[in-house]
Copies of this chain bind each other. A is one copy, B any other.
Amino acid sequence: MNIGDVARRSGLPAKTIRYYEEIGLISPLRGANGYRSFRDSDLHKLAFLGRARSLGFSIEDCRGLLKLYEDDSRASADVKRIAQEHLHRIEAKIEELQTMHGTLSHLVAACAGDARPDCPILSDLAESDAAPQPGAQRRS
């Protein structure tokens, strides 16, 4: 299979597939003409990667998952640990976004959104209270 076929069948752009080879996630063979020659196993790995990435796993997580996937003597605990850590990161991110959402939706609701210059959004951003401490959350 050439890269175009694999791209269509895996749903990943050819550029991305080349990139995955460059960073060592896959190692397709090469034909006499220099073209990459993908085996079924390469296609499977790419599909695996596409699904893992769509769940938000980082490339390094994907590298680890792929290694475990190929290791018949793996422990499912190792897989679960990676997934759980990722799940925690997702939860933290959701919380962070929800905090932003809370603040911002209040401000948006309070803004008239007309031709006048008065704007609670700008007033809030301009408020000169204490400098934010690292990791501090502003009021919601």
Contact residues of A: prevailing secondary structure: helix
Q: Which residues of B contact A90 (CB under 8 A)?
A: 97, 100-101, 104
Find A131's partner among B9, B107, B122 (CB 8 Å cutoff).
Answer: B9
Q: Does A33 contact B (CB under 8 A)?
A: no
Q: How far is the CB of A79 from chain B (nearest CB, A)?
A: 5
User: Copies per complex?
Assistant: 2
Check A77 against B108 for contact (C-beta < 8 Å). Answer: no
Across-interface contacts of A32 in B (CB, < 8 A)? none
- The answer, yes or no, to whether A15 is at the interface (CB within 8 Å) is no
Chain B residue contacts of A31, Cβ below 8 A: none
Mask of A107-127 contacts with B, CB within 8 angstroms, 1/0: 110011111111101101111
